[in-house]
Amino acid sequence: MVLKSDAVWAIDIGNNSLKALHLSVASGVVEVIGFDNIQHGKVLTGSGIKASERDELIALSLRQFVRNNNLGRDDVVVSVPSQNSFARFVNLPPVEPKRIPEIVRFEAAQQIPFDIDDVQWDWQLMTEVGGPESKVGIFAIKNEVVTSVLEHFSRENVTVGYVQMAPMALYNYVVYDRPDLVKSDDQATVVLNIGAENTDLVVCTKSTVWQRNVPMGGNAFTRAIADTFKLNFEKAEKLKRTAPMSKYARQILQAMRPVFTDLASEVQRSLGYYKSSNPNTKLIKVISLGGGTKMRGLLKYLQQTLQMPIEMPDSFKKLTIGSSVSAAKFHESVCDFGIVYGLGLQGLGLAKIGSNLLPRSIARSMAWAGKAKHFTAAACVLLLVLVLSFGRTIFDKANYSDKADVRQKVSSIVKTAGRARDKLKAQESKGVGFEATIQKAFEPFNYRNVVPLLHQTIISALPNEKNNPEQEGLYKAFDEARVEDVLGVSREERKQIFVTSMSVCFTNDVATARFGSPGRGKRRRGSDYEDDYDDDYGGGAKYRVVGYSRVGTGAAAGAEMWEGAGFVVTIAGYSPYKNIGELMDPAGVEDDQSRWGVITRLMHLDDITDGNSPFKLYKKTEVEHFKLETGEVDWDAEMPAGIGLEDVRFEKARVEKARHRGSGERVLIDPMTKEIISKVVEFDEYGREKIDKSGNIVHKVNDHWFILNVKFLWKEAPEEIESSV
């Protein structure tokens, strides 16, 4: 979602204060039409500040900001801190522009060091389309970081339209306001934003940005003063701010000197790493921003250590001050406004990086809200059409009644002609078509063995005595229902796949066939604890086994895309094995058949069927032709139907009380061994729920479910098969 408005509010909530900048643009000139810099009641990361008190301090500052300023209908752009964030620039091979999103998604899954479902991520093309090389920026940040920031604004009914990482906002500020410092990729400018608890180090070139978070800021100096003079955090902070006027200035500076050295060393080490990774890029200048920049002697010390010129801006080059804004007060806070300046440029559509880390569900809601007026207009037009149609109907009805005699004559002639035509066809059809009728009747049996053969082929790829001989005893014990022998193998070590459903759909063109709904559902608890499953469209249909049917193809598929007939297969089930990914599709095992997974065997059907298989796995590397989804078996989670049996678990000290009340933890169990297969709460020896250091309930994950969508080419298929086959 790209925002572009005539006016925008940019907000950055730091550990010391809330910074906000109200910008507008007219004729290409960006103007400050309002700003605010609200100090928190306490430093958010000060000594003894708990999470609840921190949230309340932020709420008070944000509430004061909303009271002081009229947000109106202007867009709101906010920043998220750089901790747990990710930015990477990759070069793509020469491909068609329409394939770039597909390749970027693949690269994101490889590059982002977190589970892609645990982050909000976006990407942006940094070079022109059609150039010899495409450079793409991939940006991501953990979901909990974004959610934590948005919750503060949600409580105050402030609608956020755009979320950006603080380092990217600083990059946007430098590229727009100081283009003379980022002329090429051979020269780089360093932005050092020294905050209360962390320092953002951002290296900026014409088409790339490199970031690092240094876990050291102004609070480190405060703690050094507190330790030296035996003061609490608040008094040490006050002494630090008044150090230049204090008669103990020399002693204060001496107390902070070790922190000066540590900060300079961390910055020097980070820049050294960047230089070693980018030997052809020269660092020309450091721009210092943030509240820590105001500390006496710090910039001079950094400049001597880094041997680079350091500049602390006292104004912004391309930003004009509105007539209603106090220029003097604004310039007092310039060094604090680097992030909000970059955010504001992005909201106005003037930034180099426009990635948006706003959760997609919120972005879609905003998009629909913006279209409400169009829906209203469409409804009015539809109402007008209905009125006109009703009037036309009345007119046509009156005209129809006047022509009753004409219709009667025409109907008589049509019936006479129809009877003559039927007699002619009856005479022509006598004695013709008996052989064709018989042939047609037997056509459904021509290929009746194909689908069972495909079922048998897929089942042969599952873990069994042949594929995993080291667990031959387990498979035999399971087939013979010897529960004690099955339990003799740890559940998480059992290489078993339990298939709960399988659908096989025929298509004349496997290249353009589409996958159907994955058929996942979620249990819902009623007052009598009865459960049901809802499909993806809320219909409540059970995920069922389909023997043989036919799927459609893309309406616009060209003849050149046709690659042959085949089958679209969806397999769902679950596994007790500890690593379902290793069991389904292990990486790098092509040369070691003993380590193959289910999907690896499907890729080598000729090898596992001891001959020339009539089927071939179709394009496993392309997401529109192959898709594997997995997840934890959980009572409350969406997952394939038919997994396990329902039961209630009671725990030790609480068992009698829980049974008396008819309550307990609802779980899923293995139909044979009665083991719990769903994710459950862990309890200690006293029957109490285990809690981790963060205060969260500890769960134990047991089995995992999967949904596998694949396509198979039918190598021996006729040129065209009717749907009745």
- Does the pLDDT at position 256 exceed 70? yes
pLDDT of residue 327: 86
For the segment 263-286, what is each residue's pLDDT rounded down to a tens digit?
889 999 999 999 998 899 999 999
- Does the pLDDT at position 551 exceed 60? no
Contact 13, 149 (CB under 8 A): yes
pLDDT of residue 286: 93
- Does the pLDDT at position 572 exceed 90? yes
Which band of pLDDT confidence, cut at 50, 70 and 90, is reported for residue 372?
low
Q: How many CB atoms lie within 10 A of CB 626?
A: 19
Q: Indicate the burial class of 357 (C-beta count within 10 angstroms; 0-12, 13-18, 19 or more).
A: buried
For the segment 184-220, what is each residue's pLDDT rounded down to a tens digit?
889 999 999 988 888 999 999 988 899 998 888 888 8
For the segment 606-627, what is each residue's pLDDT rounded down to a tens digit?
888 777 889 999 998 888 899 9
Q: How many CB atoms lie within 10 A of CB 100?
A: 16
Q: Quote the pTM value.
A: 0.51
Cα–Cα distance for residue pair 208/231, rounded to 1 Å = 44
Which band of pLDDT confidence, cut at 50, 70 and 90, is reported for residue 530?
very low
Q: Indicate the burial class of 333 (C-beta count within 10 angstroms; 0-12, 13-18, 19 or more).
A: middle
Contact 165, 263 (CB under 8 A): no
In sign, the C-alpha dihedral spanning 479, 480, 485, 486 is: positive
Which band of pLDDT confidence, cut at 50, 70 and 90, is reported for residue 550?
very low
pLDDT of residue 11: 94
Which band of pLDDT confidence, cut at 50, 70 and 90, is reported for residue 100?
confident
Q: Which residue has the tokens 């059992």?
A: 494
Which band of pLDDT confidence, cut at 50, 70 and 90, is reported for residue 468?
very high
Cα–Cα distance for residue pair 37/61, rounded to 1 Å = 10
Contact 650, 664 (CB under 8 A): yes
Please report the DSSP string for 122-134 in residue order: EEEE-S-TTSSSE
Rg of the chain's alpha carbons, rounded to an integer? 34
- Does the pLDDT at position 107 exceed 90? no
- Does the pLDDT at position 175 exceed 90? yes
Q: Which residues pair with 590 in a beta bridge?
A: none
Which band of pLDDT confidence, cut at 50, 70 and 90, is reported for residue 112?
confident
To the nearest 5 percent, what fractions of the chain are helix, strand and coil?
40, 25, 35
Across 578-626, where does the E strand assignment appear?
615-617
Ramachandran angles phi, psi of 300, nearest 5°: -65, -40
Amino acid letter, residue 153: F
Cα–Cα distance for residue pair 279/208, rounded to 1 Å = 15
pLDDT higher at 503 or 250: 503
pLDDT of residue 132: 65
Distance of CA 369 to the CA centre of its chain: 22
Residue of 85, 175, 83 whose CA lies nearest to 138 = 85
324-328, 345-349, 524-528: least confident range: 524-528
For the segment 78-87, what is each residue's pLDDT rounded down to a tens digit?
998 887 778 8
- In the three-class reduction of DSSP (H, G, I as helix; E, B as strand; rest coil), residue 506 is classed as strand
Cα–Cα distance for residue pair 575/496, rounded to 1 Å = 6
Please report the DSSP string for 286-335 in residue order: EEEESGGGGSTTHHHHHHHHHTS-EE--SS-TTEEEPTTS-HHHHHHTGG
Q: List C-alpha distances in Å: 461 to 324, 419, 465, 473, 508.
A: 74, 61, 11, 18, 25
- Does the pLDDT at position 566 exceed 80? yes
Q: List C-alpha distances in Å: 572 to 493, 583, 631.
A: 21, 14, 12
Amino acid letter, residue 130: G
Average pLDDT, the chain: 83
Q: Which residues pair with 714 in a beta bridge?
A: 615
pLDDT of residue 275: 92
**Cβ-Cβ contacts under 8 Å for 467 (sequence gap 6 or more):** 461, 596, 601, 608
Q: CA neighbours within 13 Å on the CB side: how many for 413?
A: 6
Cα–Cα distance for residue pair 447/722, rounded to 1 Å = 11
Mean pLDDT of 126-130: 69
Whole-number percent of the chain with pLDDT over 90 = 34
- In the three-class reduction of DSSP (H, G, I as helix; E, B as strand; rest coil), residue 155 is classed as helix
Residue of 639, 504, 647, 667 whose CA lies nearest to 575 = 639
